Amino acid sequence: MKKRSLCKVMLKIVILLFSVLLFGCWDYAEVEDRGYVLGIAIDMAEPLPRGQDDLEEYLSEREIEKMIPQYGEPKFAYTIQVPIVPQARMGPEGGGGDVEEDRTWDLTMTGNNFFEAQRQFATRLEYLPFYEHLQVVVINEEVARQGILPVLDLLLADHEMRRRTRVFITPGDAKSILDVVPRIDDYSSRYLERLPLGASRNSRILHETDLGQVAMSIHTGVDFGLPRVVATEDEIKNAGLALFREDKMIGWLGEVDTIWAKWVRDAVLGGTIVVDSPNEEAEIVVLEVVKANTKVRPRVADHQIIMDIEVDATFNLVEEVRYGKANIFNEDYLEEVEKLAKKRIEEEIKDTVSYVQEEYGADIFHFNVQMRRYEPDVWAKIENEWHDIFPQVMVNVNAETEIRLTGLMK
Amino acid sequence: MLKKFKQKLFSKNINRSNKNTENIVELLKAFEVFKDIDNNVAFIQNILTDSEDVVYRELMLWDRKAILIYIDGLVDRNIIENHIIRRLQNFNEESENSILTVTDVKEKILAISNPEIVKNYNEIINGLLTGESLLLIDNEQEALTLNSQGLEKRGVEEPFAEQGLRGPRDGFIEDIDDNVAAIRKRIKDTRLKVQYHTLGQRTQTKVALVYLNDKAPEHVVKEIEKRIQEINVDSIVGSASVEQLIENHKWTVFPQVLASERPDRIATSILDGRVAIMVDGTPYNLIAPGTFAMFFNSSDDYYERSIVTSIIRIIRYMSFLIASTLPGLYVALTAYHPGMLPTTLVLFITGSRVGLPLPSVVEMLLMLFTLEILLEAAIRLPKPISQTVGIVGGLVIGQSAVQAGLVSPLVVIIIGFTAITSFVFPYYTFALTNRALRIFFLIGGAFWGLFGIVIFWILLIIHLASIESFGVRYLEDFFSFKKEKLKDTFLKDGYPSLLGNAEAIKGDKKE
Amino acid sequence: MMEKELNGVDMLAFVVHGTVGIRLLTIPRDIVEIGSNNGWMSVALSAVIAFYLGFSFYWLYTKHPNLNISQIIEANLGKKIGKIIMVAIAIYIISTIGLSLRAFTDSVKMFLLDTTPRSVLVILGALPIVYGVSKGIKTLSIVLDLLLPLVILSTILLVVLASTSVDLENYRPVLHEGLMPVLKGSLQMVHPLLGIGIIGYIMPQFNEPKRVKKWIGIGVLISIGSYLAIVTLSILVFGSEETKMLIWPTISLSKAIQLETELFERAESLFMTMWIPIAFTTMVTFYYSSTLNLKVLFDSNRDHLITYGQIPLFILIAVLPNSVVDNYKYLGWVNLLAMFFAFIIIPLVIVITLFKNRRVSNEKT
C-alpha cells in the first residue's frame, strides 16, 4: 500500500515536471505586432518608375528596395501592402486619419522569388508579415508572360495563404494598383478584392479568380483566364481578362469578349446583353440576364471534334429606348426579341471562341475538361496534342432564350 | 463500576477533562433518572456547569417536590407559564389525589402537545439543549420532556438570492420543522417520507431526508442515507457542510448537490424523484442527486410557456459557453489565429490595441482580477454602498482605464459581457463554477490557442462525464439519446408530458 | 466480473467514433489516388467491408458471451498462437494511435499552431486520451455520445458550405478505367473501418447485447455516410486531378468555401478545431481496446500499469516519422496489417468457431 502511494507521488511529480515543459508561447504574437499583408504586387525588377524625389540627406527609397540576392541578379520586385491602422478613416476612433496621409504602407523589395523577398522585408518592417488576410495578388503583365508559377509558388504551397486570395493581372505597374488611394474604402486591396462581387451585375468581370482556382488549373493542366485591372490615382477598373496557356500569359481578351467567354464557361451570374430593337432600326433593347445555363458537350465525328454548346437563358426586358412606342405586351414583339437574343448569343459565342482559337490557342473554355469527362477514350489518345487540336475544334451553338418579365416603369 | 462513573461525573471537571464529546454521550447513555430528585438536579447541574441560562423552577405537586428545568431563551415563556406551571398549580388546588405518576401528569394535567416520558439522560440533556423543558418529580424514575420550544423565528419572506417572477413568494426559513411543513403543504401524499437524522456531536443538528417513496430510486435514497449516517463530525453549520460531507467528488468545481431556498423548487424536485436534504438552521436546503442540467433550470421555467422557456434555456447553455470560454477565446483568436477573424474585425482590434503597454493575456487577467474584486466588494457591502462600488468600479475604472490607454476597450467589453452572462444561471454556486472555468480556459487559450481551448474542453467534458453523484451520472440527462431526458434539459416540454417524468434521475440500473 | 453498464444505443457512438477519425482528413486523397474520380464508389463499396467487420465481431460475441475479442482469439486458436496474434494486435493498435496522433499533430501544426514543438502537441493531444481511458468505459461512453453530434454536424456543415463551389460534372467519366481501381480503392478504407473492432472489446459491457445489432448497423451507415460525403465532395469540388495534389483534401475543402459575407474567414481553422475532438474520440477508442488487449495478453488485472504503460510507446511512435510523407509510409504498413486482420484472422476465427459449434452439436446428437 505504502509503495503504491509513493509510486503515485513520484508519478505526479514526473507529470508536473513534464507539464512545465508544455507551457510556452511559441506561436503567441499580439494582434498589433503582426503586419497584416493585404495585398501583394509583383513587377519586374528593373524599371521601377516611381516619382521619388531624391533628397540629399536621405537614401532614396529606390536604393533601399534593392537587395543583393545571395545568388544571381534580382528578377522580380515584390510589393506588400501593410495597413497603417491608426490612419484608417473607418477605424475604431471613427476617422482619425487625414485624407492627406497614407493609409497603407507599400514596401517594395527585389528578389528572385517571393520567399527570399519576403524575408528581406524583415530588414525594413518591424512587424511579422502575416499573410492570412491576404486579399489580392496583382501581377504585372510582363511577369505573367514569363509564367506565374515561379512567382506564385510560395503563395500556392504555403498553408498561411488562403485559397480565396484573388489574383489580378495588370498591363501597367502592379505596384501602382496597390498605390491607389480609394475614395471610400480604406485600403486599395480591400477595394480591389470586393470588385469581382460585381460579377452578378456585370459579366465583364471575371469572378472566379482566386488562388485556389489558379492552383487547380495549373495542377490539372487546364488553360485559364485571370481578370485584368487598370488603375488611375484613386480608382481601379476590373474588366476583361488575361489569357493563360499553362502558366504563361499569352494575351488579353477584351471586355466584351470576356462576357461571351463567361457564357461558354457557364459562369454568367448576371449582367446584360444588348440586341437590336425589332421595331426600329438603330434602336436597341437591353436585356437583363436572369438565368443563364450553358452545357458544353463534345461530339466526335470523323476525326473532327465538335463542341455542342447549349445555352439556356432567361432575361428581363429592362428598357427599350423610347419605350411607349412598342407594345411590350405584344407577344409577337417579345418573341421577336427572344429570337434576336438567341441569334446574338449564338453569333457572339462563335465569334469569341473562334477568336480565341485562332489568336491564342488557349483553351480557356475548358473544352478539354469536357473531353475528359465525356469522351475519355478519345481524350486518352489526344491528351498530349490538345493544344494543336484545340484550334480546329468546331463549335456548334444552340441557344434557348426566354423573356420572362418585362420591366415596366411608369 | 457505576460508582466510579458517578464519582467521575460528579467531579465537576467533566466538561473540561473530557474533550471528546463522544465520551460524554457514552457516559450519559449509561445513566437513567435517579429516584431522588436532588440527585437528579445535582447531576444535571454537574453536566450543565457554568450555564446560568438554565432555569430550575421548583414546584410542589400536592406534597411532592417537582422541578421544571429549561434553558431560558430556547423556550416559549408563554407555554411554560400557561400550559405547564399554571396547570400544575391548578391541579394542586383542584385535586385531592395524591397518588400521582408521571403518566398521570402527562395524560391528565399538562396541556402540551406531545410530552414524552424519558429515562435516559442522553435524551434528557439533548432535549434540554434543543429547547424542551424537563419535568422531574420526586420519587419517580421517569421524567417528562415537554415540547416548549419557542425560538424566535424569522417570518416567511421572499427568497433572497433566488428570485422568481411568477412563482410563489415564500422562501424557506431557518427552522427545519417549518421547512418540512412547507414541503408537506405542497405534496399531500402518503408516500412522502420524512426521515430525521441528527448530525454533529456538538451542534446536534437536525437533518431531514424528504423524498417520495415510489419515485426516488431506491439505490439513490440508500446511498444518501448511508452517506449521512457515515457523517461523524463535531459540528454541522448550515447545509453547506452537509453538502460537502456527502458529495462524491471533492476536487471539482461543479456542485453535485443543488441548494435552493425555494420550497416550490424543492417540491418539484422531489416530485421528479430526487431526495431533499433539509438541514436545521439554514434556509438553503439541498436536492440530491444534483445533475448538470438542474443548474440551468430555474423554478420560473415551470411557470412560463414552454416555447419561450426553451429559448431561454438554450440561451443559458450558450451563456455557459460564453461565460467560461470567451476571455480565453479572445486571447486565442487575437494572439494565435487572427487569420480566423474577418479582416475588418482584425484591423479594428489592431486599431484598438495600438500603443497599449500590456500583452492581451495580462490585460485580460488583470481585468478578470478586477472584476472578481468588484464582485466580492459589492456582495459583502450593504446595499447602498455596493451600488456605489458598482458604479465606481465598473464605470469609472473601466472607462478611465480605456481612456488612459491602459486596456483595450474590447477587453472591457468582453469582461463586462462575460460577467453579465455568468449571472444568467439561476444558482449562484454555478456562477462561481463558471468563474473558475474562465481562468482555466484563459490559460488554455493563452498557451496553446484554439488547440488548447479545444483540448481543455475535451478534458472538461471527460471530467463532467466522470462525475457521479449518488449513483447518478452528472450528465445523466444528455447521453444515450433518450427523448424523455431531453424534454427537460435544452428544451422544456409542456406540462402534461413533464409530469410524472422521473426518467431524469433513474440512473444506472444497479439492481 | 465488470458491471454491465452500457445500453444498446451507446454502441452507435462507439461505432461512429471508432471509424471516423483523423483519417477523414486524408482519405479523399488516398482513395482518389487509386480510384480517381470514381473514388466515391470505393467508399460506397467499403460499406460491405464495414458491415462484414461489424457483424463478424457481433456474431463472434454471441457465440462467446462475456469474452472480448482477444479472449475469443485465445480460446479458439490456442494460447500460443493467440498470444502471438495479440502481440500483433497490440502493435497494430498502438502504432495506429501513434501515427494518428502524429497525423493529428501534423494537421494542427499546419493549420493552428505553426512553431509550437511537436512533442508539446503530442503530449497535449495524448492528455485527454489517457484521462478519458483512465475514467472507465461508462465515462467514455458518455463522452462519445456527447461528441457524436459533432461528427455529423461538422460533416453536414462542410457539405452545406462547400456545396456552393461544387462542379457537378466532375464525377465523369464513370468507370473509365474499369472496376479494379474502385475495388482497390475500397481496400484503403479497411484501416479506418477496422476501428469498428472496438465492438469486439466493449461487447461484454452491454447489458442487452441483442439490442446492439441494430445500432451497429446504423453506426456503420453514419460513418460510411460521412466518408462518402467527404470523398464525393472533394471529387466534385476539386476534381480527381487536384485532389491527388492535396495533402489534407478535407481541410482544403473548407478552404474552398466561398461566402460573400465575411463570416468565416479561414474556415479551415474552424473546421480544424471541430476535428480535434473527432480525432480524439477515435484514438480514445483505440486506446481503450489496446488496454483490454494487453490485459488479456499479460493475463493481468493491473489497470493502471497497463493503461499508463502504453503512453511512452505511442508517444514515441508519434514523434518517430521524419515528415508527413514518412508518416504516410508507416500508415501504409499499418494498413497492410489491418488487411491481415480483416481478411485473414477474423475469417479464421469465424471458421474455427463454426467448426467447433458443429462438432459440439454433432456430439450432442
Contact (CB, 8 A) for C141 and C13: yes
Whole-angstrom Cα distance, residue C24 to residue C145?
A: 19
pLDDT at B30: 80
pLDDT (tens digit, 9 = 90+) per residue, B260-291? 888 988 988 888 888 999 998 888 999 988 88
Whole-angstrom Cα distance, residue A360 to residue C111?
A: 40
Residue type, C123: I
Q: Which three cell numbers stand for residue B115?
A: 410530552
Which of A210, A212, A376 has its CB closest to that of C176?
A376
Closest-CA distance of chain A to residue B455, Å: 13
Whole-angstrom Cα distance, residue C201 to residue C61?
A: 9
**Residue C330, φ and ψ in degrees, nearest 5:** -65, -40
Report the length, in residues, of chain C: 365
Please give, one letter per residue, the 3-state secondary structure of chain A: CHHHHHHHHHHHHHHHHHHHHHCCCCCCCCHHHEEECCEEEEEECCCCCCCCCCCCCCCCHHHHHCCCCCCCCCCEEEEEEEECHHHCCCCCCCCCCCCCCCCEEEEEEEECCHHHHHHHHHHCCCCEEECCCCCEEEEEHHHHHHCCHHHHHHHHHCCCCCCCCEEEEECCCHHHHHCCCCCCCCCHHHHHHHHHHHHHCCCCCCCCCEHHHHHHHHHHCCCEEEEEEEECCCCEEEEEEEEEECCEEEEEECHHHHHHHHHHCCCCCCCEEEEECCCCCCCEEEEEEEEEEEEEEEEEECCEEEEEEEEEEEEEEEEECCCCCCCCCCHHHHHHHHHHHHHHHHHHHHHHHHHHHHHCCCCCCCHHHHHHHHCHHHHHHHHHHHHHHHHHCEEEEEEEEEEEEECCCC
Q: Residue C334 belongs to what H/E stretch?
A: helix C324-340
Cβ contact, residue pair C5, B479, below 8 Å: no
**Other CB atoms closer than 10 Å to residue A49's CB: what's the count?**
10
| Chain centre distance of CA A329 | 42
List beta partners, residue A227.
A241
Q: Which three cell numbers stand for residue B404?
A: 488612459
Closest-CA distance of chain A to residue C247, Å: 10
Q: Chain A 13-32, CB below 8 Å of chain B: which residues?
A: 22-25, 27-32
**Residue A252, φ and ψ in degrees, nearest 5:** -110, 150
Chain C residues whose beta carbon lies within 8 Å of the beta carbon of residue B462 = 128, 131-132, 135, 139, 143
pLDDT at C258: 65
B100 three-class SS: coil
User: Is residue B486 less than 8 Å (CB to CB) from chain C?
Assistant: no
Whole-angstrom Cα distance, residue B129 to residue B159?
A: 29
Contact (CB, 8 A) for B336 and C112: yes
Q: Residue B155 has what DSSP assignment?
A: P
How deeply is C319 buried, as exposed, middle or buried, from its count of CB atoms within 10 A (0-12, 13-18, 19+)? middle
Cβ contact, residue pair A159, C110, below 8 Å: yes
Q: Chain A 129-158, CB below 8 Å of chain B: which residues?
A: 130, 132-133, 135
User: Is residue B338 less than 8 Å (CB to CB) from chain A?
Assistant: yes
**Residue B4, φ and ψ in degrees, nearest 5:** -60, -45
pLDDT at A48: 44
Contact (CB, 8 A) for A307 and A296: yes
Cβ contact, residue pair A25, B447, below 8 Å: yes
The radius of gyration of chain A from alpha carbons, rounded to an integer in Å, stands at 27
Whole-angstrom Cα distance, residue B100 to residue B91?
A: 11
Percent of chain B having pLDDT more than 90?
Answer: 12
Closest-CA distance of chain A to residue B443, Å: 10
Whole-angstrom Cα distance, residue C101 to residue C90?
A: 16
Cβ contact, residue pair A83, B347, below 8 Å: yes
Residue linked to cell 495585398: A39
Which of A27, A212, A216 has its CB closest to that of C114?
A27
Cβ contact, residue pair B336, A28, below 8 Å: yes
Q: Which three cell numbers stand for residue B466?
A: 466522470
List beta partners, residue A11.
none
Contact (CB, 8 A) for C101 and C318: yes
Chain A residues whose beta carbon lies within 8 Å of the beta carbon of residue B349 = 31
The radius of gyration of chain B from alpha carbons, rounded to an integer in Å, stands at 30
Closest-CA distance of chain B to residue A27, Å: 6
Chain A residues whose beta carbon lies within 8 Å of the beta carbon of residue B351 = 85-86, 88, 91-93
pLDDT at B308: 87
Nearest to A209 by CA among A176, A188, A239: A239
Sign of CA dihedral B492, B494, B499, B502: negative
Residue of C nearest to A216 (CA): C242
Chain C residues whose beta carbon lies within 8 Å of the beta carbon of residue A217 = none
pLDDT at B75: 86
Cβ contact, residue pair A85, B350, below 8 Å: yes
pLDDT (tens digit, 9 = 90+) per residue, B455-487? 999 999 999 999 988 888 888 878 767 766 666
Percent of chain B having pLDDT more than 70?
Answer: 88
Which of B455, B473, B508 has its CB closest to that of C127?
B455
Q: Print pLDDT tens along chain A (410 aa).
A: 456 677 778 877 877 777 777 777 788 888 888 888 889 998 887 644 444 444 455 556 666 666 666 666 777 888 888 888 776 655 545 444 455 567 788 888 887 777 777 777 778 888 888 888 888 899 999 888 988 888 887 777 776 777 778 889 999 888 888 888 888 888 888 888 888 888 888 888 887 778 888 888 888 888 888 999 988 888 888 888 898 888 888 889 888 888 888 888 888 888 888 888 777 666 778 888 888 888 888 888 877 888 888 999 888 876 654 555 556 667 777 888 888 888 888 888 888 888 888 888 888 888 888 888 888 888 888 888 888 888 888 888 898 888 876 655 43
Contact (CB, 8 A) for B348 and B357: no
Whole-angstrom Cα distance, residue B136 to residue B337?
A: 81
Whole-angstrom Cα distance, residue A274 to residue A319?
A: 10
Q: Residue B332 has what DSSP assignment?
A: I
Cβ contact, residue pair C239, A373, below 8 Å: no
Cβ contact, residue pair C128, B451, below 8 Å: no
Over range B157-171, report the average pLDDT.
82
pLDDT at B331: 92
Nearest to A199 by CA among A184, A210, A185, A186: A210
**Assembly ipTM:** 0.93
Residue of A nearest to C240 (CA): A220
List beta partners, residue B488.
B492
Residue linked to cell 468588484: B374
Low-confidence ranges of chain C (pLDDT < 70): 1-3, 258-266, 364-365
List beta partners, residue A77.
A43, A110
Residue of A nearest to C174 (CA): A373
Cβ contact, residue pair A18, C242, below 8 Å: no
pLDDT at A59: 56
Whole-angstrom Cα distance, residue C345 to residue C338?
A: 10
Sign of CA dihedral C31, C37, C40, C46: negative
List beta partners, residue B90.
none
DSSP C243-271: HHH-SSHHHHHHHT---SSSS-TTHHHHH
Chain A residues whose beta carbon lies within 8 Å of the beta carbon of residue C119 = 21
pTM score, two decimals?
Answer: 0.88
Over range B137-156, report the average pLDDT.
82
pLDDT band at B502 (very low <50, low <70, confident <90, very high): very low
State the alpha helices, DSSP H only, in B30-142.
37-47, 77-78, 86-94, 102-104, 121-129
C77 three-class SS: helix
Residue linked to cell 424537563: B134
Chains contacting A (3 or more CB pairs within 8 Å):
B, C
Cis peptide before A171 (omega within 30 of 0): no
Closest-CA distance of chain C to residue A215, Å: 8
User: Is residue B414 less than 8 Å (CB to CB) from chain A?
Assistant: no
Chain B residues whose beta carbon lies within 8 Å of the beta carbon of residue C265 = 339-343
pLDDT band at B442 (very low <50, low <70, confident <90, very high): very high
User: Is residue B28 less than 8 Å (CB to CB) from chain A?
Assistant: no
